[in-house]
Amino acid sequence: DIQMTQSPSSLSASVGDRVTITCRASQSISSYLNWYEKKPGKAPKLLIYAASSLQSGVPSRFSGSGSGSVFTLTISSLQPEDFATYYCQQTYSTPYTFGQGTNLAIK
Amino acid sequence: QLQLQESGPGLVKPSETLSLTCTVSGGSISSRTFYWAWIRQPPGKGLEWIGSIYYSGSTYYTPSLKSRVTISVDTSKNQFSLKLSSVTAADTAVYYCARQRSGGSFLLDPWGQGALVTVSS
């Protein structure tokens, strides 16, 4: 299985901050990397697919980059509704593994 | 707008079989563009992809659960189902169904709201 490791596991930030979350794969996965936002009691929401493509309806303050084995999710200016847990997922090969999650909390 | 809804018992006894159904509305489960997936999240833990099924019945399972999992599809009812046998407390989780694109990025979207299944006697 391909292991996905996110860093940091948690971080605190303020509204308006620029935040970057990193996801590393245990082997090259080309651009087969998706990002999801998860809030308590809600279904996960797709934010970014194919490493850098913004899902329809997702605010442009979210962006993704990377290829190979290192990827980043950036939120350019944090809004109150962005405090959540973020997961990366590789879809290069089955099983389609997720990272352990990054909990983004209000400072 | 495509919607998915999980249904099934919320409480299952240890060693028994967990059974959930996902009903798809607003679109056809027989689309050649998509797979249909199950994902779970144990309390306080991260997301785990369980497996996916194509309308034709071809399946992919995560190896750690493969001996206990069966995913099936009923195109006449626009539903797909999950069965997980010999459950233990470790299988307690919120179970989500989702549509998975069959090519490109294999993204998961949309998701159902989730169904909490507790394994307890």
Please write the tens of the pLDDT for every residue from A30-77: 999 999 999 999 999 999 999 999 999 999 999 999 999 999 999 999
Contact B78, B29 (CB under 8 A): yes
Contacts of B106 in chain A (CB under 8 A): 32, 34, 91, 96
In this predicted model, what pLDDT tens digit does every residue of B4-52 receive, in sequence order? 999 999 999 999 999 999 999 999 999 999 999 999 999 999 999 999 9
Contact B87, B106 (CB under 8 A): no
3-class DSSP assignment, residue B91 = helix
pLDDT of residue B103: 81
User: Residues 73-102, chain A: which have Cβ within 8 Å of B?
Assistant: 87, 89, 91, 94-101
Is 90 exceeded by the pLDDT of residue A107? Answer: no
Dump strand ranges (E) for chain B. Answer: 3-7, 11-12, 18-25, 34-41, 48-53, 59-61, 69-74, 79-84, 93-101, 108-111, 115-119
